[in-house]
A and B are shown apart, each in its own frame.
Chain A
Amino acid sequence: KAGVTQTPRYLIKTRGQQVTLSCSPISGHRSVSWYQQTPGQGLQFLFEYFSETQRNKGNFPGRFSGRQFSNSRSEMNVSTLELGDSALYLCASSSPGISGNTIYFGEGSWLTVV
């Protein structure tokens, strides 16, 4: 069974640009969560989507947005990039009916803003 797949794995962007990250969850999982990980702040929750609806949202500015498609695939977008947005962005999927709230992470997308 394939795990959570994230693309792209590595990317470099310039301040002010925007970026879109993609996530394909484990087959059958309908919940997708996004986290930002930085050395100083650790893992911080961005948002969670379930059945194409945003179910939870973390404390991030509106520049961070996401969506989920009918096939459960998800994208997140960061607009007007700032240097502080450099981080590892992790997507995680879960299936509340099967695995409770256990989440499984993808390999992440390393974003560097210069």
Chain B
Amino acid sequence: QKEVEQNSGPLSVPEGAIASLNCTYSDRGSQSFFWYRQYSGKSPELIMSIYSNGDKEDGRFTAQLNKASQYVSLLIRDSQPSDSATYLCAVGAWGGNTPLVFGKGTRLSVIA
């Protein structure tokens, strides 16, 4: 059974701080990793994808991957109240032949 684990939160951070969201996965053969953001009552939207060990930056977001530790994280710099949402980690094999496995999400609250 492939599993993706996330702390459900809520994770509360003050405005302007760095929010750190973490995710671990059980399938050592996983090759692709994604972070989705889901606002209450809305559908998930893709924020970042990462495939190689190390960091990948996109604006205020940085995804970090450590395949040896089976760990992926998302850092949000200069957190804004508009970042308050649930963040879903998804893990999959490469090639699109198997479905992504999602964690249950971490709820982030950015306090103004």
Point out residues on A near B: beta carbons under 8 Å: 31, 33, 35, 41-43, 45, 48, 55-56, 58, 88, 90, 94, 96, 100-108
Contacts and interface: CB of A to CB of B under 8 A. Distances in A.
Interface stretch (B52-60, B73-81, B97-105): B97-105
A103 B100 contact: yes
Contact of B46 (A41, A43, A102): A102
B43 A107 contact: yes
A102 B49 contact: yes
Given A94-B96, A103-B100, A105-B44, 20 more contacts: A42-B88, A43-B44, A43-B88, A45-B100, A48-B99, A58-B99, A90-B43, A96-B96, A96-B97, A100-B32, A100-B51, A100-B95, A101-B96, A101-B98, A101-B100, A102-B49, A105-B36, A105-B43, A107-B43, A108-B43
B96 A100 contact: yes
A75 to B, nearest CB: 18
Contacts of B43: 88, 90, 105-108
Interface size class of B (residues with CB under 8 A): 20 to 34
Contacts of A58: 99
Contacts of B105: 42
Given A33-B99, A42-B103, A101 B32 contact: yes
B103 to A, nearest CB: 7
Contacts of A35: 102
Contacts of A56: 97-99
A61 B96 CA distance: 24
Contact of A96 (B46, B88, B95): B95
B18 interface: no
